[in-house]
Structure 1
């Protein structure tokens, strides 16, 4: 590999690492803000937005409850944002390994992504 190509690849990797760091920072801050809004709404109204022990368990119910400003649904939405943050990091890592032409790590990271998505699907559907 030529020296110029190595320098370009190194610069791209620094840029990708910066993007990954930003994704993690923004994801955590965004989820904290969303959960904080739900908590403030819960404390202000004293109501979770649901009767008894009922809670939103599916993504559809969480999104609908958030749209209806139900505090518990908003806090659950913040939790899902926090869960999806590292998943997005894995996606960016696949791109980074692809740019480095590291096929082994692309395959391993893709397998990790598939496992994460299957686990999320199982969690969302409850099956």
Structure 2
């Protein structure tokens, strides 16, 4: 009987985790879209992206500096970064979900995916 109760608790927790994952994805898209719209409005108001020759910032230092100066392209790049970060957060939450389910194979696989995403992110910054 105790085992059945524990299984029911895990199923309920997994349902909660799935709801959290859905909320993360929705919130990530909403936040990204809002940031992109703010950047687009600034682009329309200012008439340019804030950088010479329609260049755009490609590293965090330039993006943060551009955001501080309200440069439209920098704000839009932040929106893109948030959109890229959304599924990465989903992968991280999935690791927890698989761990709670006791599915160790998927914990390992999903962790490998998260490590690959992290490595590609670091290599992209170093480029």
| TMscore range, shorter length | over 0.9
Q: Tell whether the 8 Å contact from 1:34 to 1:78 is kept in structure 2 after alignment.
A: yes
Q: TM-score, normalised by structure 1?
A: 0.95
Runs of 4+ in 1 over 2 A off after TM superposition: none
Q: Tell whether the 8 Å contact from 1:58 to 1:125 is kept in structure 2 after alignment.
A: no
More helix by share: 2
Aligned equivalent of 2:33: 32
Give 1:70 deviation, angstroms: 0.3
Counterpart check, 1:43 vs 2:50: no
RMSD after superposition: 1.1
Mind listing any 5+ residue stretches in structure 1 that lack a counterpart?
Answer: none
Give 1:124 deviation, angstroms: 2.0
Aligned equivalent of 2:67: 66
Give 1:125 deviation, angstroms: 2.2
Q: TM-score, normalised by structure 2?
A: 0.95
- CA–CA separation in structure 1 for the residues paired with 2:6 and 2:78: 43
Aligned equivalent of 1:77: 78
Which shows bigger deviation, 54-63 or 29-38? Answer: 54-63
Deviations 1:84-124 (A, max 9, x none): 00000000000111111211111000000001111111222
Give 1:63 deviation, angstroms: 1.5
Deviations 1:41-85 (A, max 9, x none): 000110111111432110121121112100000001000000000
Aligned equivalent of 1:91: 92
Mind listing any 5+ residue stretches in structure 2 that lack a counterpart?
Answer: none
